[in-house]
Amino acid sequence: MRLGRLPPSAALAVAFVSGAAAVAGFAPLGIFPLPALSLALLLALCRAATPRGALALGFAFGAGLFGVGASWVYVSLHDFGTMPAALAGVATLGFCAILSLYPAAAAWGLALLRARPASAALLAFPALWTLAEWLRGWVFTGFPWLATGYSQTDSPLAGLAPVLGVYGVSWATALVAGLAFLIAAGEPRQRIAGACGLALVVAAGYALGSVSWTSPEGAPVRVSLLQGNIAQDLKFQERRYAATLETYRRLVEASDARLIVLPETAVPRFFDTVDPAYWDRLARLARAKRADLLVGVPVRDAEGRYFNSLISLGVSPPQIYSKSHLVPFGEFVPPGFRWIVDTVAIPLTDFSRGPERPRPLALAGQRVAPDICYEDAFGEEIARQLPEATLLVNASNVAWFGDSLAPPQHLQMSRMRALETGRYMLRATNTGITAVIDERGRVRARLPQFTEGALQSDAQGFSGATPYVRWANAPVIALCALALAAAAWLARRRRVGPAWESR
C-alpha cells in the first residue's frame, strides 16, 4: 500500500471517507467486513506518518465514523428537543469531535511507537484501538456506541463475545485489519503468514461460536412485549395522556402471556399521580391471566428524588427496578451545564440514580434482569445481575431518535448483550425496534417500527455463566496491555528512522 505517501490533505480525506464507510458495517446495513477494511486503510495511512500526522488521520477517521454513525444526535436535539437548528448542528459537531479524539489517540500512540517490524504493528494496533474504545466506554460516564465489535454480531468473530465481550470482538476486528494490511502490503512470506493468521482468527471465532456456554433452565415462558407507538412530541402532552393509558390497557388486555413488558416511561407521569384505579385495573388484568407486568413509569420517593423505573404488577409480589446509568443532559445535568439543558425541551432531566448492583426480579417463574434504554450499551453493568438472572429485559423509548440509524444500532447492542451473557434479551420499545433475541444473539421475532402492537413469543430461561460474565472486560484489557508491552519491546529492538514500515 502506498497510501502513506499521499499528500496530507488527500490522506485526511481518505481517512474521513474510510471512517464514514465503516458505518455501513453496523446495523441496519450490517456489511461486517467493512470496519476491518476501513481500519486496514487507517493503518496504511499511518504507516509513515509522524505522531502529529497520525493524530490528524485518526481524528479524521473518527469524524467520518461518528459524523455519519451518530448523526441521530441532531434529530434528538432539534427535531424532538426543539433546540434551534444552528445550535443543534454545532452541538452535534462538537459531540462528534470529542468522540473523534479516541481514534486520534490510538493512531497517535501507534506512531509514537515507531515500530518498524510488522510484528510490533500487529501487536500494537489492535491493542491501542481496543483500549481507546474501552476508555470511550467509561470516561465521563461513557459513550460506547459504535464500538467496532458491535459490527460483527453476524460475523464469525461474534463467537468471541461470550469470552471477551464486545471489546474483545473489537480487538479481533482490528487484528483482522492488521492481517489484511500485511496480506496487501507485505513481502511474500509476510503475506503467507498474514493469510494463515487471518484463517486462524476466523476459525477461532467459528469454534468458540459453537460452544454452548449456558444451558436452558425450565420450560420456555410466554412473553408479550408492548409497543404503544406514542409519538415523542405527543407523549408528555396533557391531551394525549388518557389515550396513552388506554392504549396500554388495551394491549395488556389482548396479551396472552405470563410476562408482559411495557416500554420505558410508558406511563408518562409519576407513579403516585396516576389514578390508583388504573393501577388496580392493570393488576387485576394481570392476575386474571396468571401473569406479571413490567411497567415503565417515573417514581418519586419521600425526599423528592425521582427515578426512571420499572414496576411490577400481577401474581408476583410488587417489585421495582430503577435505572442506574443515566444519560448526561437527557436524564441528569452535569455541574455547570444547566444552560445547555435550558435550550432543549426534555422533560424529567434530573433523575436520581438507582442501585448500582440490583438483584434480578422474580417474575413469571423467571429471574429477570431489567435494564432501561441506554443501559444495555454497557455490557459489564448488565453482567452484574448474572449468573443469577435467567432472562434479560430492556425497556426503551427510542422515539427520541425518530427514523434514524439509532434504533437499529441499539438493537444490535442488545444482540451483543445476549451473546455476551448467553441469555435471551427481550426488548419492549415505544416506537421500535421491539424484539425477542435468543442466547446466540439472533432476532427470533420483531415488530415493525412505528406501529402499535404486542409481540408475543416464547422465551427460554438460561442458567450458567459465560467467561465474560465471570471476568467482564478484565481479560481483554490485560491482553491489550501485554500486547502493547511486547510491541514496545520489539520496536525498541529494531527502531530505525522516524516511522515504521511493513517489512
Nearest to 441 by CA among 158, 208, 166, 171: 158
Among residues 373, 375, 420, 480, the one annotated as catalytic is: 373
- Known catalytic residue at 264: yes
**Angle, vertex CA 1, rays to CA 35 and CA 106, nearest 5:** 50
Environment class of 199 (CB within 10 Å of its CB; exposed 0-12, middle 13-18, buried 19+): exposed
DSSP string, 88-113: HHHHHHHHHHHHHHHHHHHHHHHHHH
Among residues 323, 381, 420, 439, the one annotated as catalytic is: 323
Ranges assigned E (strand) in 353-406: 361-363, 366-372, 391-396
Q: What is the DSSP letter of 385?
A: G
**Helices 85-113, 118-136: inter-axial angle, 10-degree rounding:** 150
In whole angstroms, give the CA distance from residue 189 to residue 321: 57
User: Which helix (H) or strand (E) element contains residue 456?
Assistant: strand 453-459
At 429, phi and psi to the nearest 5? -125, 160
- Known catalytic residue at 235: no
- Known catalytic residue at 480: no
Among residues 46, 96, 264, 480, the one annotated as catalytic is: 264
* Count of CB atoms situated within 10 Å of the CB of 10: 12
Nearest to 19 by CA among 39, 3, 33: 39
Phi-psi group of 298: left, alpha or beta (phi > 0 → left; psi -120 to 50 → alpha; rest → beta)? beta
Nearest to 160 by CA among 179, 147, 142, 173: 173
Place of cell 439543558: 341
Q: Which residues are catalytic?
A: 264, 323, 373
